[in-house]
Amino acid sequence: MTTTAPDVTNARAGSSGTPAPTAARPVRPATLTDDFLRGLVARVPGGLGHTWPLTEVYTGETLVELPQSSPADIERAFATARAAQAEWAQWPLRKRLKVFRKAHSLIVDNQPVIADLIQAESGKNRRMAVEESCDPPMIISHYLRRAPKLLAPVTRGGPIPVLSTSTEIRQPKGVVGIIAPWNFPFATGLSDAIPALMAGNAVVVKPDNKTALSPLYGISLLEQAGLPKGLFQVVCGEGPDVGPTLIDNANYVMFTGSTATGRVIGERAGRNLIGCCLELGGKNPLVVLPDADLDEVVQGALFGVFGNTGQICMHIERIYVPETRYDEFKAKFVRAAEALRLGASYDFGPELGSLVAVDHMRRVQSHVEDAVAKGATVLTGGRPRPDIGPAFFEPTVLEGVTPDMLAGSCETFGPVVALHRYRTVDEAVALANDTDYGLNASVWGTDLDEAVKVAKRIHSGNVNVNDSLATAYASKGTPSGGVKQSGVGARHGDQGLLKYTDVQNLAVLKKQVMGARPGQDYDEYVKQMQTSLKLMRRLRVR
Ligand code: NAD
C-alpha cells in the first residue's frame, strides 16, 4: 500500500496565523486504475444520458464518470431484482448463508482495495476507511449466527389446545430499496442490505453520487461469493430524481441520511403503505460527570468529535463539563485538538482527513461564522485549509454557543464542537436533552453505577458510557436507531433482520368444535365460552 504526503498539524504556525506549509499532492493508490473504476460503474444503468463526475476528494480530480439512471432504468432494475428474488427465496437458508460466509472472507482479504476506494471518494483518513470496511464483515458474522433462529418457523398451540396450531412464518418482503449517504458509503451500502438478502429479499440500492464506488465494489465481491446476478441492483442519480420511482417500486425502504430527507421518504412510503426504517441526523451531547478522569475523556471525545472529520451521525457536537473542572478540560481538549495531524494521504499518517466536498465544507464554515457573528468564541480551528485540499477544515472548538446559533441547534456534521459549563448533574441532563434530536449521547464518569443512572435519563436511541459512540454502534446484537427527530426503527439486533420480513400467521384447525350451532341455547353457549376462557387462562394458552 501506497503513498505518503506530509501531513500538517492543526496548530496554526504562531499567533500571527501564518499559513501552514502547503502539503504535497497525495499519490493515488495504484489499485485505482481507470479500467478498474470504469468496470465498477459499468453495471449502473445510465438512461438519463448524462453522467456525474465522481471525484477524488483530496484533489478534486475526476476519477470516473458515473452513469445516471432514468425512471425507466429504475423500473427495469426492480423487475430484474424481483425475478431473481423469486428464485433466491426458494434457496434453503443454509445455501443462502454459505454465500455470506464466503463474502466475509473476500471482504476481509480485499480490505486494502476497499479502503483505497473509500478514501478516494469520501476523503476520510486511512484509519476511518479501514474501520468502515470492518462493518459489513461484523454484520455478516452476527447474522450468520442469528438468522437461522430468526427465520425458523415458530409453531404455537392455537386457541383450542391439541386441535389447533398457529405457526409464525417469516416471509421476505420482496425487493428492498436502500438509499444510502456518503459518510459511510461502503458500510451503509452493504451492511443494511446483508440481513435483507439473508432473509430472502432482493435489493436495489441508491448510493450517493459522490460515493458510489465502494458499494459497487462490495456488491461485486458478494457476486464473486455466489450471490445470484441480478439480485443486488444499483441505480444512481440525484436523490429527488431517483427517490420517487425507487420508493414506488419497493416493498420496503431503508433510508440513512438527513432528517429533512427522511421526512420526504417517510411520507412517500406512508402513502404507498410500505414499511420504512429511517436512520437520521443527530446533535449528540457528551456529559462529563464530576468524577470523570479528564485525560480519558479528552482521548475519547477527540475521536467522538473529530472521527471521520466529524461526519459520523453519532459524533459529538456538544460537550457539557462541570464548571469546577471546565478550565482544566478546556485546556486539555484544545491542546489535543491542536495536535491532531491533518492530511491528504492514503497512508496512516493523518489523524484527520477531508470533509466530503467543498459545498459541505462551506456549510460547516457557515455554522462557525454564524456562531462567531452571534457572540461565540473560537478556541481553536475555524478555518478552511485549502493548502491541504479543497475541502479540508480545521478541527474547531467553540465556546459561548447558544441555541439561536446554527451550531447550537442544527446538526453541523463537521469537525466542530461546542464546550458548555454546567452547575448540577440535573442541569447537564436537561441541557443534553434540550434538542429535537435523539440519536446518540455519551456519559463519562468513574462511578459506573452513577454514570449509567445519568445515561438512562438521556432521551437518545444510543447512549455510551465511557465511550463516545463506537461501543454502541459495534454492538451488533442490540438494535441501534434514533428517537425524536433522529429516526424511526433501527438497524442491528433481531429487528435489523426481522424488519425485512412479513409475518405469515399460518393457523391450522384439525376439527371444528367451537362456535354456536344452529338451534343451540345461547345461555348454554355463553357459559361454554366463559368456561373455555377460564380454562385457557389456567392452562396459559397463548
Ligand atoms: P441526505 O439526506 O442529503 O442524503 C442521503 C441520501 O438520500 C443520498 O443518497 C441522497 O442522494 C438521497 N436523497 C436526497 N434527497 C432525496 C429525496 N428527495 N428522495 C430520495 N433520496 C434522496 O443526507 P447526507 O447529507 O447525504 O448525509 C448526511 C446525513 O445523514 C446527516 O444528517 C447524518 O447524520 C445522517 N446519517 C445518519 C445515520 C444514522 O444511522 N442515523 C448514518 C449516517 C448518516
Find cell 389446545 and name the residue: 161
CA of 295 to the centre of ligand 1 (A): 34
Distance between CA atoms of residues 538 and 161, nearest Å = 12
Cβ within 8 Å of residue 337, ≥6 positions away: 10, 302, 305, 306, 380, 381, 395, 396, 397
Report the C-alpha dihedral over residues 58, 59, 60, 64, rounded to 10 degrees: -90
Q: What angle separates helix 213-224 from helix 111-122, to the nearest 10 degrees?
A: 160
Angle of CA points 23, 28, 29, to nearest 5°: 130
Q: Which grid cell is 522?
A: 345461547
Distance between CA atoms of residues 127 and 350, nearest Å = 9
Q: Is CATH 3.30.930.10 correct for 29-150+172-280?
A: no
Task: Please choose from 52, 128, 179 the residue to mutate so as to test ligand 1's pocket, defined by most ligand atoms within 8 A of CB.
Answer: 179
CA of 133 to the centre of ligand 1 (A): 20
Which residues have any ligand 1 atom within 6 Å of their CB? Answer: 179-184, 206, 208, 239-240, 243, 256-258, 261, 264-265, 279-282, 313, 411, 413, 439, 482, 487
CA of 159 to the centre of ligand 1 (A): 46
Index of the ligand 1 atom closest to the CA of residue 480: 40
Residue whose CA is at the smallest distance from ligand 1 atom 11: 239
Residue whose CA is at the smallest distance from ligand 1 atom 14: 239
Index of the ligand 1 atom closest to the CA of residue 184: 43
DSSP β-bridge partners for residue 420: 320
Task: Please choose from 241, 256, 364 the residue to mutate so as to test ligand 1's pocket, defined by most ligand atoms within 8 A of CB.
Answer: 256
Index of the ligand 1 atom closest to the CA of residue 313: 34
Residue whose CA is at the smallest distance from ligand 1 atom 16: 239
pLDDT at position 522 is: 87
3-state secondary structure of 40: helix
Index of the ligand 1 atom closest to the CA of residue 243: 20
Residue whose CA is at the smallest distance from ligand 1 atom 20: 243
Catalytic member of 236, 277, 313, 410:
313
3-state secondary structure of 443: strand
pLDDT at position 160 is: 86
Query: Has 65 been annotated as catalytic?
Result: no
Using one digit for the tens of pLDDT, what is the confidence trace for 461-509?
A: 999 999 999 999 999 999 999 999 999 999 999 999 999 999 999 999 9
Index of the ligand 1 atom closest to the CA of residue 242: 20
Q: Are 63 and 41 in contact (CB under 8 A)?
A: no
Task: Please choose from 191, 192, 208 the residue to mutate so as to test ligand 1's pocket, defined by most ligand atoms within 8 A of CB.
Answer: 208
Index of the ligand 1 atom closest to the CA of residue 486: 41
CA of 287 to the centre of ligand 1 (A): 27
CA of 262 to the centre of ligand 1 (A): 7
| Sheet with strand 440-444: strands edge to edge | 377-380, 396-399, 416-422, 316-322, 284-288, 440-444, 462-465
pLDDT at position 23 is: 63
* Closest of 181, 202, 219, 407 to residue 316, by C-alpha: 407
Query: Has 410 been annotated as catalytic?
Result: no
* Closest of 49, 38, 63 to residue 216, by C-alpha: 38
Number of CB atoms found within 10 A of residue 61's CB: 11
Catalytic member of 56, 132, 223, 279:
279
Architecture of domain 284-479: 3-Layer(aba) Sandwich (3.40)
CA of 411 to the centre of ligand 1 (A): 13
Residue whose CA is at the smallest distance from ligand 1 atom 30: 257
CA of 208 to the centre of ligand 1 (A): 8
Task: Please choose from 309, 313, 435 the residue to mutate so as to test ligand 1's pocket, defined by most ligand atoms within 8 A of CB.
Answer: 313
Residues of the chain with pLDDT under 70: 1-23, 514-516, 541-542
CA of 180 to the centre of ligand 1 (A): 6
pLDDT at position 540 is: 75
Residue boundaries of the structural domains of the chain:
29-150+172-280, 284-479
How distant is the alpha carbon of residue 143 from its chain centre? 17
Index of the ligand 1 atom closest to the CA of residue 264: 18
CA of 239 to the centre of ligand 1 (A): 9
Q: Which grid cell is 4?
A: 505518503
3-state secondary structure of 307: helix
Cβ within 8 Å of residue 423, ≥6 positions away: 322, 323
Residue whose CA is at the smallest distance from ligand 1 atom 6: 181
